[in-house]
Chains A and B, each alone.
Chain A
Amino acid sequence: MLEYWTAILTEATIFGVLALGIDMIWGWAGDFDLSAYAYFALGVYMTIIMTVGKAKAPVEYVLGWHLPYLLAVVIAVTVVVAFASIIGAIALRNLRDVYFSITTLGAVWAIYYGVENFTPLFNGYNGVFGLFDPMGGNLSYNAYHYYFFAFCLLVLFLVYLLVQRLSRSPFGRMVRAVRDDERAAAVYGRNVFWTKYRTYLFGAGLAGLSGGLFAAYIGAFNPLDWRPTEIFVLYAAILVGGRGNPRGVVLGSFIVYVGFVEMTRYIPSPAARPELGPALRQILIGLLIILMLKFRPSGLIPERLGTDGTRVRQSWRTWFSRSKILPDPRQDEVAAESASGVES
């Protein structure tokens, strides 16, 4: 039982890092990115092939080094960021909103089918595998998993501190200003592309890092492990926890991962229908996304409002009132029609 919980919580922790990265791109910068799961996968692939050594036929993949784990993760993150810099440059230069999403959707499927069919890269459909032990191999099987969980928790905590610090910094404020109205942000001297691009690369880097952690956790990786649709679980986590709020995102990751794994554990999955459990899980994820978007788009812990410090705590009353959706004022052309003056 303890091993079981360790496994689930380790997974939730790793995906917490990924969710923090995706939230920077979507929550802060407002770009609904669908290729982030490919960055995560690239992080996993790179970490594995840089630590398990040369490929033995019929398995084939590039590099095949024997690097120490941490060094491999650092290089993997660098590669992921370099790769994201190409996709990001294409998708962010002139495209916004749904066009950005369409481009990244196209990108992720192109990458997916490319990796699946081009075997010299990451062994195609069969994927890469190999056992490697970040701890140096002097621990028992169970102890290793506990230590690795502790290691993941530490990484998540450090990443959280970093992201939270950035979120509350002037940089985080600027990113959100660009998200809310990029023309107005440009009028006040902000370089819209560069702002979004840096945020995108930072988020992609976190996706790569979570991939590096996942590589050590799973030890084998093939295209079935990273169907691009899996990213919806992360968006569900972000929506539940609170888009744009690092604390909420971490909370949401744990709620969705632990909650959903637990819930689907009790769904009977007959041997003849192995797909039933996962399919129900996906349906619940889809429902969760739609319902959260409709009824409480700001999540359990809404994005923190930057104040002058005199009123930091939100009262419970505002918690409820926040759940109603305010219409976008720019959608009606004569928004200033009801200028009732300054008395209110």
Chain B
Amino acid sequence: MSAAALLEIEGLSKSFGGVVAVDNCTMSIHEGSVVGLIGPNGAGKSSVIDLVSGFEQPASGSVRFAGVNVVGKRPDQISRMGMIRTFQTPREWRDLSVIDNVRVGRSDLERESLWRSLTSARRLRRQDALDTAELRELMEHYRLDDIRNDRAVGLSGGQKRLLEFARIAAAKPRLTILDEPMGGVNPVLGERIGEAIRELKKAGSTVVVVEHNLPFIEKTCDEVIVMDLGSVIAQGRFDELRDNRRVVDAYLGNDDE
């Protein structure tokens, strides 16, 4: 890989109530790639995401994002450096309209200052209105335009997934971490999600995908990292790993997928 590493994880460890979830885990993600993070259930994939995005604090080890150590930072601070993650179930702001969900994803934080909201509300609303055309184009793209003024809570599971992607696309992050984006998704929508990930890459975001669906990983990812028992056991192209004995033992062989 010629590009510099965007995310560098070194010697990361964490245990929950005596159970070791992440054990001396080391990996690096290069700028501009789509990386699949796979491993059997309980391999520590989701825990690594929580540690990287600041929702949990590691017992030891370091996480460097864009050259800066982010251990000890709050999730919102890490996010403002350009990292967006998702959770296993889509999390929409249920009582906001669909367009407002995307707007909050898009909106720059300056605009939300309490003082400016009080003193120059009209100007802020005009700025919001200027975004509308751009946002509607985005929602058209994710087939959300017809329901843009509906409360997000009423959306179907699939629409919530798409809303999540629209929100990420509006936020334009440097790094996107997707935690099982295919969970409970039908094949038709699966195609659309694969496409969305490639679009994120084209828009300049590096993408990490945690997924159990191996054909999907093979099709979507440039590179694959395999975890087992809290640490990385292999890293490389998908077809290379197919022959890796440890990977097959740990995951491919034991898994009914």
Q: How far apart sit A162 and B156, CA to CA, in the bound complex (Å)? A: 36
B125 contact set on A, CB distance < 8 A:
168-169
A170 contact set on B, CB distance < 8 A:
107, 111-112, 117, 124, 128
A338 lies within 8 A of B76 (CB)? no
Q: How far apart sit A328 and B125, CA to CA, in the bound complex (Å)? A: 30
Given A170-B112, A183-B87, does the pair A340, B158 have CB atoms closer than 8 Å?
yes
In chain B, positions 107-135 with a C-beta closer than 8 Å to chain A are 107, 109, 111-114, 117-118, 121, 124-125, 128-129, 132, 135
- B contact residues, total (Cβ < 8 Å): 64
Q: How far apart sit A171 and B121, CA to CA, in the bound complex (Å)? A: 10
Is the CB of A173 closer than 8 A to any CB of chain B? yes
B192 lies within 8 A of A336 (CB)? no
Is the CB of B188 closer than 8 A to any CB of chain A? yes
Please give me the residue from chain B that is nearest to A244 by CB atom.
B95
Interface residues of chain B, those whose CB is within 8 Å of chain A, are: 53, 55, 74-76, 79-80, 84-87, 89-97, 99-101, 103-105, 107, 109, 111-114, 117-118, 121, 124-125, 128-129, 132, 135-136, 143, 148-149, 151, 153-154, 156-162, 167, 171, 183-186, 188-189, 192
Q: In terms of DSSP, what is the predominant structure of the interface of chain B?
A: helix
Instruction: How many A-B residue pairs have C-beta atoms within 8 angstroms? Tell me.
Output: 174
Q: How far apart sit A344 and B159, CA to CA, in the bound complex (Å)? A: 9
Please give me the residue from chain A that is nearest to B101 by CB atom.
A177
Residue among B90, B96, B109 facing the most chain A CB atoms (10 A cut-off): B96
A329 lies within 8 A of B158 (CB)? no
Is the CB of A14 closer than 8 A to any CB of chain B? no
A340 contact set on B, CB distance < 8 A:
156-158, 186
Interface residues of chain A, those whose CB is within 8 Å of chain B, are: 162, 165-166, 168-174, 176-177, 179-181, 183-192, 198, 202, 303, 305-311, 326, 328-330, 333-342, 344
Q: Can you list 21 pairs linking A and B with CB atoms under 8 Å apart?
A: A170-B124, A173-B107, A173-B112, A174-B104, A181-B94, A186-B55, A187-B79, A305-B149, A307-B97, A308-B136, A308-B148, A309-B132, A329-B89, A333-B89, A335-B89, A335-B90, A336-B161, A338-B157, A339-B189, A342-B143, A342-B189
